[in-house]
Structure 1
Amino acid sequence: MSQSASTSAAQASFRVGTRGSALALTQTTTVAEALAEASGHPYEIVRVKTEGDVTTGPLSQLGGTGVFAAALRLALLDGGCDVAVHSLKDLPSVQPEGLVIAATPVRADVRDALCGRDGLTLATLPAGATVGTGSPRRAAQLRAARPDLVIVDIRGNVGTRLGRVAGNAPAADDGGVGRGVQGDLDAVVLASAGLTRLGLESHITEYLDPAIMLPAPGQGSLAVECRPETAAGGLIAAALAELDDFDTRLAVTAERSLLSRLEAGCAAPVGALGTVHGGGVRLEAVVCSTDGSSLLRRSLDSTEATLDAAAALGVRLAEELLADGAAELAGLAGR
């Protein structure tokens, strides 16, 4: 290779697509820097506005799954970017043709976090306290644990949601979605991973044990998506393979397989948590009625730590839940 050709190859860059929120940009930059370090190539951030960023109203009413992912995926397919970084819990469980999840980096804390005024925890919130969440899964499990609370549907990015808690400073501008009301709630529930990534752990008054609140399938995990040729032999193929964490992929494969068999979207009242132990995978899941009055909680183990075994585990646990009435309980499509 000539010196000029070698210089050109060394300077070749890759484009990373992201949503424009502070959390998305933080997550994307972390992944982009890891890929750049591993590959030796610089990156460019490409901001893509998604339907979930511009549409108001409850997430459960925004047209099904993938409202935060569709525009990013179109940008990938159209060549507007080379890779896209998603919060895995926001991705539909069915992978579209022409795209692959090339890396699931090491998973962050999977737990949900309560951010309460005056240091309040779930146990110490007074009867009738108002708690904000945009997630039917969180709302149902909150109602099950504390039926005396008033659950308020909220929208907006992390800063806006934190700003809803009484005594918190006004939120930074997040593009206008969900803003307008501040300090009207006693607490909000958010993913601890997002708060940690943004350096906002000081707002957490309690990490909610999965025994009380199972997280969303894929929560705490990022998904680096691209076209197959990018993962197979492109500029950053080796870097993507290095970034992928197998234990994380095993756990989320089981969780997303369960979600797929239940035919439940990311806004469904379904929680799931896979853990890798010894030579196998354990999967816990809960399906809730939206009012929290009824919960089905089950768990299963696989003695093999393979992706096929993890996927089969998710299907088996989903079948158990469906046999016990999960579809009717939560209004799921699966039968």
Structure 2
Amino acid sequence: MTDLVPTGQGAVEPAFSWSGGGGTLRLGTRTSPLAMVQARAVAERLEAVADVRVEVTGIQTAGDRHQGDLAELGGKGAFMREIDRALITGRVDVAVHCLKDVPGDVPRPNGLVFAAYVARDDTADVMLFPMASRVQRLADLAPGARVGTSAVRRRAQLGQIRPDLCVQYLRGNVNSRLGRLDAGEEFDAIVLARASLGRLGIDRPGEELDIIPAVGSGVLAVDCRSVDSDIVELVRLLDDRETRRCVAAERAMLHALRGHCNSPIAGHARLERDGQLSLRGMVFTRDGSRFVHAQEWAPPDKGPDLGAYVAGDLLRKGARDLIDGIPH
């Protein structure tokens, strides 16, 4: 991990000089094991496409320090503020974020641009069980079984499938969650993103859940200062066109819904075999007992229009009342 070392009166000496080849890029990310693995993978890809050295800089965020409900810090933006600040002030040159952690109701800072959306990874949510448990399926959990997750979207959809379960709040890095699960004292099952297990090299059996992913699920977004045209051009070499088209639809829907961090909103876009872009969106009450659903299709270059249309359909069906009925 690279330390952030200021020079002079609060200024930061730039470490990157790009002139078509050579130089060093400082890449900022959260300090969790998963974030560091993801950042190193992006760093390796940047080094593979250009004559550049990339140093990964770990930055601890308020969201990582706080172990309570993220709503107490204003939502998922708590994972980004310190990294945004480091990028704006020049302490780092690029940054990597899990796109699902980028709020849809808070404008991005002026001067920053997501120059690349890395090709989307697995979007599935999986239910995991204690290693010593004889139960290995959602259907076999007893009524009142304790299931851990921090995502209101997962909580709501589990409430639809098994309203008899006791879904409890669970935060922490992947390994700590697995440790608490295997201890067998707090949880009978937990739900995690399968992509996070794969990126960490954790091979563990689990049951894939038939639920809609989070907006931006499985996507790493690489952030840059828009004025650094050479860096933007370099990072764009990692951009995946299909992922960008899907993200454009999902993020447009999320933005139009104006949900907050406690809003159970799910959205997933994909390119179908006929070449059309599809988008499925859902908005739930906290317990999943009420919901609205919409799905539409559009040409692949019309992602923003598709997202706005699906959001409008959801709002016409009552999404605003569901969102406003949940306290921030």
TM interval, shorter chain, is 0.7 to 0.9
3-state SS of the aligned residue for 1:164? helix
3-state SS of the aligned residue for 1:67? helix
User: What is the aligned residue count?
Assistant: 303
Q: CA deviation at 1:116?
A: 1.4
3-state SS of the aligned residue for 2:245? helix
Residue identity in the other structure for 1:12: G
3-state SS of the aligned residue for 2:140? coil
Q: CA deviation at 1:60?
A: 3.4
3-state SS of the aligned residue for 1:75? helix
Aligned pair 1:78/2:89, yes or no?
A: yes
Residue identity in the other structure for 1:296: V
Residue identity in the other structure for 1:328: D
Aligned with residue 118 of structure 2, among 102, 105, 108: 105
Aligned with residue 319 of structure 2, among 319, 326, 330: 326
CA distance in 2, matches of 1:290, 1:159: 27
3-state SS of the aligned residue for 2:270? strand
Residue identity in the other structure for 1:130: R
Q: CA deviation at 1:11?
A: 4.3
Residue identity in the other structure for 1:225: D
CA distance in 1, matches of 2:325, 2:163: 23
Q: Which residue of 1 aligns with 2:303?
A: 310
Residue identity in the other structure for 2:53: P
* TM-score (structure 2 length as normaliser): 0.87
Q: Which residue of 2 aligns with 1:171?
A: none
Q: CA deviation at 1:191?
A: 1.0
| Larger displacement relative to structure 2 (34-43 or 57-66) | 57-66
CA distance in 1, matches of 2:112, 2:257: 23
Q: Which residue of 2 aligns with 1:285?
A: 281
Aligned pair 1:41/2:52, yes or no?
A: yes
Aligned pair 1:29/2:40, yes or no?
A: yes
Q: Which residue of 1 aligns with 2:194?
A: 192
Residue identity in the other structure for 1:233: D
CA distance in 2, matches of 1:10, 1:253: 31
* TM-score (structure 1 length as normaliser): 0.86
Q: Which residue of 2 aligns with 1:224?
A: 222
Residue identity in the other structure for 1:329: L
Q: Gaps (5+ residues) in structure 2?
A: 1-18
Aligned pair 1:253/2:248, yes or no?
A: yes
Q: CA deviation at 1:264?
A: 1.4
Inter-CA distance 216–151: structure 2 relative to 1 (3 Å threshold): same
4+ residue stretches of structure 1 with deviation over 3 A?
8-11
Q: Gaps (5+ residues) in structure 1?
A: 1-7, 168-181
* 2:259–2:323 CA contact under 8 A, matched in 1: no
CA distance in 1, matches of 2:140, 2:304: 39
Identity of aligned residues (%): 39
The alignment's C-alpha RMSD in Å is: 1.9
Q: Which residue of 2 aligns with 1:5?
A: none
Q: CA deviation at 1:56?
A: 2.4
